[in-house]
Each structure stands twice: as C-alpha cells, then as structure tokens.
Structure 1
C-alpha cells in the first residue's frame, strides 16, 4: 500500500485540493514557487544522513534490499515535489517532512485534503 506526501512553496491563499489537482491538469499554478531540484537533492544528503538517493527512489538507512521497503518514489516537478511511500514508517515520513519544511515547502496530504504549516 502506498501513501503520498506532496510539497510546494507559496500559494498560501489557494485552495490546497484545487492546487494539487491543477498540478496534474495544467502543470503550472500561479502563485506557487518553482522547485530548485538541486537544492532539494542537496537537502536529502544534508538532512537525511544515511539515506540513499538513486535519482528516483529515496531509501532510509537499514532497508533490506530483498524486501525493498520502506522506500519513497520521488517526483521532482516544476512546482511540486511528491513522495509516494511504500511500506513507510511514521519516522521515515517525518524525516522527509522535516527535510522539506527546512526548505520552506509545506506538506499537503492528498489522502485527507489537508495542507499543513
């Protein structure tokens, strides 16, 4: 089972569910800041010590390669950074959230429709 964590910066006055949908429909949303991909990847290295970044998959330390979970399938878009977690733990999810918040990105949970500070 998967769980999605979505992050963007800006757009504080926009409806979060509509904004998330518009990323998929149009790709660009006025009022939302662009993603600096290099800065996000650098944040993985600095704020997630021991994690492995393979260009698409982000894996916490100690993951059994045979089992392959927990793992995050990461999409670095123009304005949206999306993590689809498989077999993720609360601590792994919180580590990702903290790394993204340090860059000024706010979490949107598409499963609940809530955007967090």
Structure 2
C-alpha cells in the first residue's frame, strides 16, 4: 500500500509506470521498479474532477477524462518537445434548443493495434 496525496478517483498501468488520478485535479505517476517515491506529480490539464485514466499501449503517456465532458492526451516525457504534443478536446455533449448538455466521460479504452481510443459517457454514447 502506498499513501496517495488525496482520494484516488482513477488508476491505470502504463508499462512499468502506473498513473493515479486523485481529487483536487492531481495526477501522480509511480515507477513500479522504484516505489521509494513518486516518479512525477502533476496537475491535471482539465479544469474539473478526473473521471477516468488510461495509459497508452506504447507506454509513452496517458489519456484522462473529466466530469465536464473533456478528454486530455498527456505524455510522460517532460521535455518541452514532448509536452507540445499534448492536447484536449470536448466530447459527450448534446445541444438541444440552443442549450448544451455536458456529460461526464466515464470510460476510455484503447485499440492496441491502431493506437486509437474510444470514450464512453453518461450521455449513453461511445
């Protein structure tokens, strides 16, 4: 057991790392080969509570989602070149009568052959 800085909301193994999404928008990355201390600690690039995290099949990063219908793609490499590749996008939103309904993104799953991913939301869509 390893104490986390806050309530754990999501967890995913990413090769020899595991990525933990906690309350207060923190992302903790642990190296399974050296559990003496946390490998990296970051603030989520999403504004609202993390709902799901999944590590890339190629072990180079992770995707996280929030309760606000957004998904972020992040890279473990902290160099400026790698960090320029990260991005976020909106999804699981339905517009009715000029009112946008925003749904949490509850699930993320990768296709290992194509390195693509799908999301599932509280709107009932994938």
Query: Do the structures match in fold with TM over 0.5?
Result: no
> TM-score, structure 2 length as denominator?
0.27
Higher strand share: 2
Is the helix fraction higher in 1 or 2? 1
**TM-score, normalized by length of structure 1?**
0.28
More contact order relative to length (CA 8 Å, sep ≥ 6) = 1
